[in-house]
Structure 1
Amino acid sequence: MSTLQIGLAIIGGLVLAGVVAYNAWVTNKSAPLTARERAGGGSSDERAGDETLPYTPADLAEHEVQRVDPVFGDAPGAPEPADAAAVAVAAAAVSINPLMNQPPEKRPGLDALIDVIAPLMLEHEVSGDAVLAALPGTRRVGSKPFAVEGQSDSTGEWESPRPGQRYRALQAGVQLANRSGPLNDIEFSEFVVKAQAFADALGAAPDFPEMRAEVARARELDAFASGHDAQLGFMLRARRTAWSPGYVAQHAAQLGFVAGALPGRMVLATTQSGNAPILSLMFDPQAAMAEDPEQSALREIALSLEVTHVPRSEQPFVRMRQAAMALAEAMEGTVTDDGGQPLSPEAMDQIGADLESLYDALDSRDLSAGSPQARRLFS
């Protein structure tokens, strides 16, 4: 073989090796960032910090926080939340308070503010077992929840019927409005039929309010609710390299998020045990359920806040905003609205100001955000 041929063969081998190396580099750069890479890279100080957070979706599932939906006391068959009414795009989150094991505030399930209530007069006390046996099979009237309460003979408090208790008075109720709309004539009539049948089974005499007045009250309440329902949300989009589910979970866990009830959902728990979570973080559930989630590429995640379900005292918007900024900085992302437009600090300030006005309006109607009444109305 001549010297020229040998030289050309060497050059060809070098070119081929260069192509292989370049392809390997491109493949490595395009792979999603994973929790293992984050924990193994960076300075010694960074590694020391990350070693305390070996979180993956599987690890976090052990600390799952279930969503708690509003119900009438302990009554079974309580309504599932309907699709949310529209509103704004927003952002926020501050330092995370530790979860406290405080009991939720106890209030009667039925409330004249948001329910039609019909007293059921009794000739004598009835047992909780008899009340439970007489309850209708379904606890809904059209699209509205239906409930029965008894006044305990021992405590005098209104409560959902329980076996072994005795009740000196009963009342039946149906919710005036929810996200499905106001109580209408047909639903009111169905409520009367259902409550009458229950009363007949116990020998009680119901006292129903006038239908026209209650339906008008339902429409007025629905009009207020429609103008003050708010769900805030924004997107966090990757600027460069995509993220794996484990990478997202690791950074979210540093801010106090834990695995939710559904794949691809994490939540920031409230300081009040039993209440709905403050914030939700969501990404593609298919990526979370993949055989090898670390090879799934995520280019965006969503943060959302159910404004009417979280008390103002939790500072949910502030916490959401700061959490978004922290995640964006740590994962090289950009905070945008649903249309992909970046959210400026000025836009977030305006959203925060509008939110304070919303809280004030809810407070003025005794429907403060996060209260049992507000959670039932906005469901």
Structure 2
Amino acid sequence: MTDLQMSLIAAGGVFIVGVFTYNKWQEYKAKKSVERVFASEHEDVLMRAGSGSDTVHPGGARHEPSFSLDGDSTPDHAAPAGAYGDGDEPETPVVRTADASTPPEELATALVDPLIDCLLPLALEAPARGDKLLPALQKLRLVGNKPVHYIGLAVSGEWEPVKHGGVYTKLQGGVQLASRTTALNELEYSELVQRLRAMADEIGAEPEIPDMMEVMQEAKNLHRFVAGHDAQLGVNLQSNGAPWAINTLIAALEKQGFDVRPDGRYVMPDGEGGHLFSLSTNVTLAEETTSRLTLLLDVPCVAPARDGFGSMIACAKSMAGRLDASIVDDFSQPLADQALAEIAGQVQEFYADMDRNDIPAGSTRALRLFS
């Protein structure tokens, strides 16, 4: 082997080592960047530092579990300006809006809500029957994961959901500005406008398109509010002895009043088609036993009058007696009555804050935003 060949091999080796080292350095920087982001902004919304000695946290410090009102203390989570104060895949999520006795105008507001929807006025060239309008409207029901709804001004002078047999002189569309996961973005809005224009041409209507920049700002503000109030509270039941057999456990859950939903979740019904809280066995379907159950309350989705937290704790205590279990937090520390009472008080503060922002917990508006 010549000196030239040896030199080329050596140079190639140095190049490969250099590339490998550079890639590793880039991976390290990316990893540290991600760690910094998540370490600085994403605390556990259920177990924030308080005072006391029940929950073990990293570093050896011990704190009582505390319900967190993300967003109450910082301007970033304030309600959208002008929207929450002065009075003024996929399928669309199913939200209980009203029963048959609900006035048409109330039904209309539940579908197209000025507080949480971007309004899309549609001026009809002439009065149109719902039978003609509905097939076209069905073509634009979802943008991304944001539902699009429509109401019509009936010849009676009342706004109502567009229906067969109705005759309408005007239409009002509405696309939800934010969901639990994301805000309406520029790409979705551009798609909406394009599809809205095509649909309007089909029914003989002229759409009024809001300014994109204003809509994007409203969507971001609303999503900050949703993110700041997206709170779930959980308590755990830990077996004091041997793990529970799943088959035996199912019977106990049914006696306690739980229903099994099609998706396999166990839920406590609220008596009106919804549920107060859910339960997880924390194991896969293939497992035959579990030693831990988790009860979870989706706080903004349950009205204060239903006392979801109180009902969940009462259920946990009843099941603890039935199953010989202890009520513990996520770190397996016992949850004392005093800690639970403090959390219950913070839940009431959370409800009051949602009321102040005209999005009461458990309302149609809240259910749409937090579905």
What per-residue deviation string (whole Å, max 9, x for no partner) do you get for residues 353-374 of structure 1? 2111110111111111111111
Deviation for aligned residue 1:86: 6.3
Corresponding residue to 1:141 among 134, 140, 143: 143
> Using the alignment, how far apart are the partners of 2:294 and 2:154 within structure 1?
46
Aligned pair count reads: 275
Computed over aligned residues only, the root mean square deviation of the Cα atoms, in angstroms, reads: 2.5
Quick one: higher RCO (CA 8 Å, sep 6+), 1 or 2? 1
> Using the alignment, how far apart are the partners of 1:266 and 1:224 within structure 2?
29
Corresponding residue to 1:87 among 38, 42, 45: 45
> Using the alignment, how far apart are the partners of 2:165 and 2:99 within structure 1?
24
Matching residue of 2:203: 202
In the TM superposition, what are the counterparts of 1:1-379 in structure 2 within 5 Å?
A: 87-88=45-46, 103=99, 107-108=107-108, 109-135=111-137, 137=139, 139-154=141-156, 156-159=158-161, 161-263=162-264, 265-271=265-271, 273-274=272-273, 276-283=274-281, 286-287=284-285, 296-379=288-371
Return the TM-score normalized by structure 2: 0.68
Matching residue of 1:54: none
Deviation for aligned residue 1:248: 2.5
**Once structures 1 and 2 are overlaid, which stretch shifts more, 333-342 or 223-232?**
333-342
What per-residue deviation string (whole Å, max 9, x for no partner) do you get for residues 277-325 of structure 1? 11112225745x78xxxxx322111211111111111000000011111
The runs of 5 or more residues in structure 2 that have no matched partner are: 1-42, 48-64, 67-97
Deviation for aligned residue 1:327: 0.6
> Using the alignment, how far apart are the partners of 2:332 and 2:302 within structure 1?
27
> Using the alignment, how far apart are the partners of 1:185 and 1:142 within structure 2?
11
- Is the contact between residue 86 and residue 231 of structure 1 (CA under 8 Å) also seen in structure 2? no
The runs of 5 or more residues in structure 1 that have no matched partner are: 1-84, 92-101, 291-295
What per-residue deviation string (whole Å, max 9, x for no partner) do you get for residues 93-132 of structure 1? xxxxxxxxx9486633110000001111112211112112
What secondary structure, in the 3-state scheme, does the structure 2 residue paired with 1:278 have? strand
**Once structures 1 and 2 are overlaid, which stretch shifts more, 214-223 or 105-114?**
105-114
Return the TM-score normalized by structure 1: 0.66
Matching residue of 2:70: none
Supply the AA of the counterpart residue of 1:149.
Answer: I
- Percent identity over the alignment? 33
- Is the contact between residue 136 and residue 194 of structure 1 (CA under 8 Å) also seen in structure 2? no
> Using the alignment, how far apart are the partners of 2:316 and 2:113 within structure 1?
37
Q: Greater CA radius of gyration, 1 or 2?
A: 1
What per-residue deviation string (whole Å, max 9, x for no partner) do you get for residues 110-156 of structure 1? 10000001111112211112112213535222232222222333572
> Using the alignment, how far apart are the partners of 1:320 and 1:331 within structure 2?
16
Deviation for aligned residue 1:222: 1.3
Supply the AA of the counterpart residue of 1:266.
Answer: Y
Matching residue of 2:14: none
What secondary structure, in the 3-state scheme, does the structure 1 residue paired with 2:354 have? helix
